[in-house]
Structure 1
């Protein structure tokens, strides 16, 4: 039976920025992959959260999500609508239950999710909810958890603490990652902003240079039961 992967991301495009090169590679190697995006991704710039005022933008973003995930062969995307950059206004238990529901449905072997000390509060809470939803009890399906960095969040927190110990060579899938990010036209920024196509490629080269490869994605291993 093929191993299953679940990406748990706080916002649309986090899944691409965090691990799409690696997951695209693993899909090519026979893994089955799913994405869960917890936040609606559009209301944080408003004084008050009024989802109805953002319906058109959210619909555009949801279309971008599906196109981006289709590019690398994600089998299914699960969408929640927790308030953008306001996860701390929601009971943690509600977020844990949303993750548990998807986890129980697909029974993943591996989870990729956020780094615990990102600047973004939603990323921090997502990490905590994932760890809670995957307590290592006897019948827990998840045996490996890896946390990823998000450009313009992980490196913007101080003091810097992201110290990866797992590196995936994405030489054959960096193009798929870039193509997926291009689908997020409403989220892309212009270089020198880190969340740009150039920023993504430079970051992959930066980590690659550190481990003797051309381009890699870097992760912190949270738990691996072998």
Structure 2
């Protein structure tokens, strides 16, 4: 059984960026671990991740106050313990500092350990996101919406209704139109040592990872 580790700065990020893919990977028989680096806005996180079939983890750092050295040490220990085959994390060009920091540290550690690496998209903060694979989540789109609804208590009502929920609804549909399905999530593949990707903006059967 392949092990997947999703490393995200905040609790809502993995659901927004790849909630449907988490569900699809679990249905394919993968063991999926989902890590939130920060413990803020954690309400509903464990419930949402478990609903999608994943195993929730939390390092409990504070929002915008992540100790780089401690994070690197903790993440190194976690990777050693879980020994994941594939690592997902934030895109390298992020306007949010926490996202960018988590991406840089995760990519460095995963590359050092020669893991397959994929970056997911956060619509509101991923600059110049360049994807090369897409996952059809049409079958799991409603599950993704339900999972993010489980976390609505962690946000102000306006923020959830005007920012969080629309990012789930509209981005999945837009990406689906681009690649020829109803709903999709997209990723950038870095490979174990950042080679040129063998993929080219196309639908990919995630069970083949």
TM normalised by structure 1 equals 0.78
Mapped to 2, the partners of 1:69 and 1:199 lie a distance apart of: 18
Q: Tell me which residue corresponds to 2:136.
A: 169
Mapped to 1, the partners of 2:128 and 2:15 lie a distance apart of: 22
Q: Is 1:14–1:150's contact at 8 Å kept on the other side of the alignment?
A: yes
User: Is 1:70 the counterpart of 2:50 in the alignment?
Assistant: yes
Q: Tell me which residue corresponds to 2:169.
A: 201
CA RMSD of aligned residues (A): 1.9
Q: Is 2:119–2:187's contact at 8 Å kept on the other side of the alignment?
A: yes
Higher Cα Rg, which structure:
1
Does the residue aligned with 1:194 lie in a helix, a strand or coil?
Answer: helix
- Looking at secondary structure, tell me which structure has more helix per residue: 2
Superposition deviation, residue 96 in structure 1: 1.2
TM normalised by structure 2 equals 0.84
Mapped to 1, the partners of 2:17 and 2:167 lie a distance apart of: 13
Please give the residue correspondences for 1:131-210 in structure 2 after superposition, counting only pairs within 5 Å: 131-136=107-112, 140=113, 143-154=115-126, 160-185=127-152, 186-187=154-155, 189-191=159-161, 193-196=162-165, 198-210=166-178
Runs of 5+ unmatched residues, structure 2: 194-208
Q: Tell me which residue corresponds to 1:26.
A: 25
Mapped to 2, the partners of 1:143 and 1:135 lie a distance apart of: 6
CA deviations on 1:101-141 (whole Å, 9 max, x unpaired) are 211111111111101111100000001110222234xxx3x
Mapped to 2, the partners of 1:147 and 1:199 lie a distance apart of: 17
Q: Is 1:152–1:195's contact at 8 Å kept on the other side of the alignment?
A: no
CA deviations on 1:154-191 (whole Å, 9 max, x unpaired) are 2xxxxx41111110000111111111101111236354
CA deviations on 1:17-75 (whole Å, 9 max, x unpaired) are 11111111011011110011111225xxxxxxxxxxxxxxxxxx34x11111111111x
Mapped to 1, the partners of 2:86 and 2:33 lie a distance apart of: 10
Q: Is 1:112–1:146's contact at 8 Å kept on the other side of the alignment?
A: yes
Mapped to 2, the partners of 1:17 and 1:25 lie a distance apart of: 15
CA deviations on 1:186-218 (whole Å, 9 max, x unpaired) are 236354x3311x431211010111111111001
Q: Is 2:8–2:35's contact at 8 Å kept on the other side of the alignment?
A: yes
Closer, same or farther: CA 190–79 of 1 in aligned 2, 3 Å: closer
